[in-house]
């Protein structure tokens, strides 16, 4: 058994500067990372200041498979892919913790001029058609499960299992409702004649641009750090430590580090005001001077304008705001 922990780092949208910059998250958490810069990733990645970590680039679709088979010990991956892998077989993958980014929804979409407002409408309107209802998706397992749980599907087809095709592999006995694996760029299949798609989306804007509308939400998902079957004992302890470092970087993004000067005669008054009005994360840190003192606070970003206005009322001067890289609580 390798004593080093094998980490899977996500390829694709979770390492994109506009959507979920996992590379920057590791840098902010104090790791020196080489070979994982967004847009210039390599499949073998170095964590230069932690020799106990071996890192590889992994595709989100295959990450749960690798975790379940002990090929990698831990990985950052969206919950949607974890659930897709666990529909038909029990998984031993454990979520170490959420990372509060890469938030998406798995949705059902149809052409924007379609009369259907939900999946039941679609099934009932097409129950007598002679050709199959075609759905394209990268999530065939979750899609089939969602379809089979639909009330109208059960009314029309009973317990029949929708036909599923993943490349050359097929399964299911109801060929009137077919779920086809899409391998990406799923929205274009509507233009090619598909009846519906199941895809993940953040805002829905790309779907609307493609001429689609959402009619159902299957699940909400975000990125997390997951441990596979091989992550036990000291490896699990190491995984927890990595998570705490990453969580510290994520938590820090919610706060500003603010310093300002205040007359010594007003220290107690301004400190009590900040605490009573929840304008700081903890008690202010005070660095005393002869006539003036410096106060240092962590302030939730949403409350920063209110705080600045308040401390100016106490004649605060030299107000400095800094971004935090890491906050471990």
43 pLDDT more than 90: no
Residue 328 lies in a domain: no
Q: For residue range 75-103, what is the model confidence (pLDDT) as tens digits?
A: 999 999 999 999 988 888 999 999 999 99
Residue where the block lists tokens 């080489």: 34
- The boundaries of the domain holding residue 315 are 255-323
| Mean pLDDT of all residues in 163-190 | 93
**Structural domain total, the chain:** 3
329 pLDDT more than 80: no
Q: Are residues 232 and 89 in the same domain?
A: yes
The tokens describing 276, both together, are 């009573």
Residues written for the chain? 329
> From CA 143, how far away is CA 84, in angstroms rounded?
9
Q: Are residues 70 and 143 in the same domain?
A: no
Q: Are residues 186 and 92 in the same domain?
A: no
- Is there a contact between 171 and 141 (Cβ–Cβ < 8 Å)? no
**Which residue blocks in the chain are alpha helix, DSSP H?**
22-28, 63-68, 79-85, 119-125, 140-148, 151-157, 188-191, 205-209, 234-252, 267-276, 304-313
pTM, whole model, 2 decimals? 0.89
- Is there a contact between 27 and 47 (Cβ–Cβ < 8 Å)? no
Interhelix angle 267-276/304-313, rounded to 10 degrees, is 150
198 pLDDT more than 60: yes
| Mean pLDDT of all residues in 260-266 | 95
Residue where the block lists tokens 């036990």: 232
> From CA 67, how far away is CA 7, in angstroms rounded?
10
């Amino acid at each position: 058994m390798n004593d080093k922990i094998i980490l899977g780092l996500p390829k694709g949208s979770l390492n994109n500067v506009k959507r979920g910059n996992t590379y920057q998250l590791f840098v902010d958490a104090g790791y020196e990372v080489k070979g994982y810069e967004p847009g210039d990733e390599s499949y073998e990645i170095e964590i230069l200041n932690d020799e106990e970590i071996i890192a590889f680039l992994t595709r989100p679709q295959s990450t749960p498979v690798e975790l379940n088979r002990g090929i990698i010990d831990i990985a950052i991956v969206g919950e949607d892919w974890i659930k897709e892998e666990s529909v038909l077989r029990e998984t031993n993958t454990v979520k170490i913790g959420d990372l509060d980014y890469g938030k998406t929804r798995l949705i059902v979409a149809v052409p924007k001029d379609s009369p259907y407002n939900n999946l039941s409408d679609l099934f009932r309107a097409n129950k007598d058609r002679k050709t199959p209802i075609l759905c394209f998706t990268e999530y065939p397992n979750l899609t089939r499960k969602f379809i089979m749980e639909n009330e109208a599907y059960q009314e029309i087809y009973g317990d029949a299992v929708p036909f599923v095709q993943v490349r050359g592999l097929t399964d299911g006995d109801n060929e009137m409702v077919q779920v086809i694996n899409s391998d990406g760029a799923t929205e274009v299949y509507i233009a090619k004649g598909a009846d519906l798609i199941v895809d993940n989306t953040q805002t829905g804007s790309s779907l609307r641009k493609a001429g689609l509308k959402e009619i159902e939400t299957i699940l909400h998902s975000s990125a997390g750090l997951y441990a596979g079957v091989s992550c036990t004992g000291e490896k699990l302890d190491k995984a927890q430590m990595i998570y705490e470092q990453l969580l510290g970087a994520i938590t820090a993004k919610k706060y500003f580090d603010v310093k300002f000067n205040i007359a010594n005669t007003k220290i107690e008054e301004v400190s009590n005001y900040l605490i009573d009005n929840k304008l700081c994360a903890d008690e202010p840190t005070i660095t005393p001077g002869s006539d003036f003192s410096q106060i240092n606070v962590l302030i939730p970003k949403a409350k920063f304008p209110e705080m600045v206005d308040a401390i100016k009322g106490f004649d605060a001067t030299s107000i400095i705001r800094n971004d935090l890289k890491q906050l471990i609580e």
